[in-house]
Amino acid sequence: MKVLANDGIATSGVVALEKAGFEVILKTVAQEQLINFINENQIDVLLVRSATKVRKDIIDACSSLKIIGRGGVGMDNIDVEYAREKGLKVINTPAASSHSVAELVFAHLFGMVRFLHDSNQNMPLEGDLKFKELKKSYAKGVELKGKTLGILGFGRIGQATAKIALGVGMKVVAFDPFVDNVTIEFEFYDGQTVNFTINTISKEDVLKQSDFISLHMPAQKEYVISTKEFDMMKNGSGIINAARGGVIDEVALVKAIENGKISNAALDVFENEPTPEIQLLMNTNISLTPHIGGATGEAQGRIGEELASQIIEILG
């Protein structure tokens, strides 16, 4: 049986699949050529990440497909229900990249509150001539300890983010329409464990109470955060989106930054990927990364192994 890993897969996943007798094709086929490639090569399993879209046209046209796999959490780039109606198995790896995304959230948070994203651009350009001016400009940072982090979406990634926040000494408040309370287990390097319970509250209360908001919800019909939500937030608060493009109204975000409602923001995902709007890219109050939340070696290894395990269980 043949597996096309169109957006790549970790070596550990390839090894596991090949050991089980699968042929793994590591080739990036353009979206418009995907149907022909799958049919010509009689592909049984199509593995994607966020770049490749698996819509009804592919599902209808490619009769050889038995499994569609997403290396990651959200599956909004796959017509999941339609695929399952047609008898295909649809799999993903919801837990594999949680900690990687959470660490990126805090990489942005630490950088935002100390202006690192801006300083790292200006120091090479003017650090020798304007050292004192830059020092004064970046000397108004704040500590995260004692601040309140609001988490919208309290699934695996939201909980992983909460773990880091609690370890830093932040207060955590969370909203999730499907979760009432969560007991988070901290596992330490020496085997000790500590449990911490968080009860979710309303979205409005999270927005009003938080110094920083971290988004971990899928894209929906309407924005999760737009002008109305920004108006509820504390003056000078910060926001991070490492979930999905389209969760935040980017036009409203820029306006909120310009009028001082939002002091800083961080975006790992964008409404118009892979061509984000220029007003986002040029805004010095926004910390930017190109959708790399789950892109660590450790996470990709776990993703590859988890996908391989599910494929072998279904087709092996």
Would you please indicate which residues are annotated as catalytic (active-site) residues? 244, 273, 291
C-beta atoms surrounding 315 within 10 Å: 16
3-state SS, residue 184? strand
Angle at 162 between CA 160 and CA 165, to 5 degrees: 120
- Whose CA is closest to 230, among 202, 265, 200, 201? 265
Assigned superfamily of 98-288: NAD(P)-binding Rossmann-like Domain (3.40.50.720)
In the prediction, which pLDDT does 94 show? 87
3-state SS, residue 287? strand
Cα separation, 183 vs 196, in Å, equals 5
Q: Where are the domains of the chain?
A: 2-94+297-315, 98-288
> Could you say which residues of the chain have pLDDT below 70?
none
In the prediction, which pLDDT does 71 show? 93
In the prediction, which pLDDT does 74 show? 81
| CATH, range 2-94+297-315 | 3.40.50.720
Q: Which residue has the tokens 């909004």?
A: 76
**Residues contacting 164, CB < 8 A, separation 6+:** 102, 103, 105, 106
In the prediction, which pLDDT does 263 show? 97
C-beta atoms surrounding 105 within 10 Å: 28
- Whose CA is closest to 225, among 260, 200, 262? 262
Fold equal for 2-94+297-315 and 98-288: yes
Task: Sort strands 23-25 and 45-48 into parallel, antiparallel or unpaired.
Answer: unpaired
Name the helix (H) or strand (E) containing 307: helix 297-315
**Whether the model pTM is above 0.85:** yes
Structure token pair of residue 186:
């901290």
What pairs with residue 68 in β-bridges?
A: 46, 90
